[in-house]
């Protein structure tokens, strides 16, 4: 039996990026626009909060300790004890209207994260306004080298990999499309982009995503109040209703990797009202009958 429960009443402004770390047996997540990182146990206890200096889009733990954080002003190393950052690279330093957003680590320890235009938050489709496509998708190698994998993106979201490492999934949230790339895990090259799944005929659009041990892709349908599971061939396999309309991202975790953790948005956006009492909270979904895969750490 599937059960969805509020795990932490975090009241996040823009909760994002649940990250289960198998080494620590702890769950991390962020509040993007509040510039905060959270950490707790699998059951939601012992909640800790850490601060970063500006908007944060995603984070990854490092093998050498600390984290890589994708901030509005570039990629940085983060020290949890001192709560300080050290700049790695800022590929869009000449454009103050973009910031880093969602990101994850591939199984060779590279960090892949994309950027988005700030005007994505402000656009008004009813007035014919559209966000700019000034964002990109970047890969931070274990040697510290930064490579651009894609350009012309409005809002980067949901990077994740198939269990065999041959496919990179990625979403441009504004397009309401999830893409698949051929991925070479040895070189990190991403080629042959094609549409994997579409939300164009659904309420809401794709946001954060993860892949389970069976190779199926799970996506948070932001503004749609549902979690979607897609088969490796792109066919919609399952719909899980969700009690909060603006869910933002998903990640399997817990001691058996069988709990789906879900972050949500507490602020209103695009004129869509936020009425649910538990908006902005961290949720846990159990009874799905599937398990996730361990999330790698950045190896640089």
Least reliable range by pLDDT among 128-137, 234-243, 254-263: 128-137
How does residue 55 score in pLDDT terms, banded at 50, 70 and 90? very high
First to last CA, the chain: 41
Residue 126 has pLDDT above 50, yes or no: no
Residue 207 annotated as lining a ligand binding site: yes
Q: Of these residues, 31, 102, 172, 207, which one is catalytic?
A: 207
Please say whether the beta carbons of 296 and 105 come within 8 A: yes
> In a 10 Å sphere around its CB, with 0-12 CB exposed, 13-18 middle and 19+ buried, how is residue 64 labelled?
exposed
How does residue 68 score in pLDDT terms, banded at 50, 70 and 90? very high
Least reliable range by pLDDT among 85-99, 245-259, 282-296: 85-99
How does residue 174 score in pLDDT terms, banded at 50, 70 and 90? confident
How does residue 125 score in pLDDT terms, banded at 50, 70 and 90? very low
Q: Mean pLDDT over residues 150-161, rounded?
A: 93
Mean of per-residue pLDDT scores for the chain: 92
> In a 10 Å sphere around its CB, with 0-12 CB exposed, 13-18 middle and 19+ buried, how is residue 230 labelled?
buried
Residue 246 annotated as lining a ligand binding site: no
How does residue 173 score in pLDDT terms, banded at 50, 70 and 90? confident
- Give Cβ neighbours of residue 61 (< 8 Å, ≥ 6 apart): 19, 21, 24, 28, 67, 297, 298
Residue 101 annotated as lining a ligand binding site: yes
Least reliable range by pLDDT among 122-126, 253-257, 280-284: 122-126
| The predicted structure's pLDDT at residue 96 | 79
Please say whether the beta carbons of 222 and 265 come within 8 A: yes
| The predicted structure's pLDDT at residue 266 | 87
The pTM assigned to this predicted structure is 0.94
How does residue 41 score in pLDDT terms, banded at 50, 70 and 90? very high
Measure the CA–CA gap between 229 and 16, rounded to whole angstroms.
Answer: 19
| Extents of the domains making up the chain | 3-286
Please say whether the beta carbons of 46 and 40 come within 8 A: yes
Total number of residues shown for the chain: 300
Q: Mean pLDDT over residues 29-39, rounded?
A: 97
Please say whether the beta carbons of 158 and 207 come within 8 A: yes
Q: Residue 29 pairs with which residues in a beta bridge?
A: 38
Please say whether the beta carbons of 69 and 88 come within 8 A: no
- The alpha carbon of residue 268 and the mean position of all alpha carbons in its chain are separated, in whole angstroms, by 19
For the 3-286 domain, the top CATH level (class) is mainly beta
Q: Mean pLDDT over residues 176-185, rounded?
A: 97
Residue 120 has pLDDT above 90, yes or no: no
| The predicted structure's pLDDT at residue 93 | 85
CA distances 205 to 1, 155, 254, Å, are: 26, 11, 27
| Residue 207 annotated as catalytic | yes
| The predicted structure's pLDDT at residue 108 | 98
Give the percent of the chain with pLDDT over 90: 84
| The predicted structure's pLDDT at residue 98 | 82
| The predicted structure's pLDDT at residue 133 | 67
């Amino acid at each position: 039996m599937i059960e969805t429960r509020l795990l932490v009443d975090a009241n996040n402004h823009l909760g994002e990026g649940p990250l289960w770390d198998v080494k620590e047996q702890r769950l991390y997540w962020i509040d993007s626009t509040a510039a905060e990182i959270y950490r707790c146990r699998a059951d939601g206890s012992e909640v800790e909060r850490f601060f970063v200096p500006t908007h944060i889009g995603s984070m990854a733990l490092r093998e050498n300790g600390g984290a890589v954080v994708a901030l509005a002003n570039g990629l940085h190393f983060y020290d949890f004890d001192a709560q300080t950052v050290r700049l790695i690279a800022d590929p869009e330093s000449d454009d103050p209207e973009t910031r880093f957003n969602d990101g994850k680590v591939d199984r060779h320890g590279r960090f892949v994260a994309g950027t988005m235009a700030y005007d994505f938050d402000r656009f008004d489709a009813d007035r014919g306004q559209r966000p700019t496509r000034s964002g990109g998708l970047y890969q931070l190698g274990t040697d510290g080298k930064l490579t651009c994998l894609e350009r012309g993106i409005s809002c980067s979201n949901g990077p994740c990999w198939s269990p065999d490492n041959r496919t990179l999934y990625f979403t441009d949230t504004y397009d309401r499309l999830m893409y698949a790339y051929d991925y070479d895990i040895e070189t990190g090259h991403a080629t042959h982009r094609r549409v994997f799944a579409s939300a164009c005929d659904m309420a809401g659009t794709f946001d954060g995503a993860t892949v389970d041990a069976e190779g199926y892709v799970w996506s948070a349908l932001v503004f749609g109040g549902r979690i979607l599971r897609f088969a490796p061939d792109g066919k919609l396999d399952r719909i899980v209703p969700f009690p909060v309309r603006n869910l933002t991202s998903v990640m399997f975790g817990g001691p058996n990797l069988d709990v789906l953790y879900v972050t949500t948005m507490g602020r209103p956006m695009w004129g869509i009202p936020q009425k649910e009492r538990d908006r902005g909270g961290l949720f846990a979904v159990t009874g799905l009958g599937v398990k996730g895969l361990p999330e790698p750490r950045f190896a640089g």
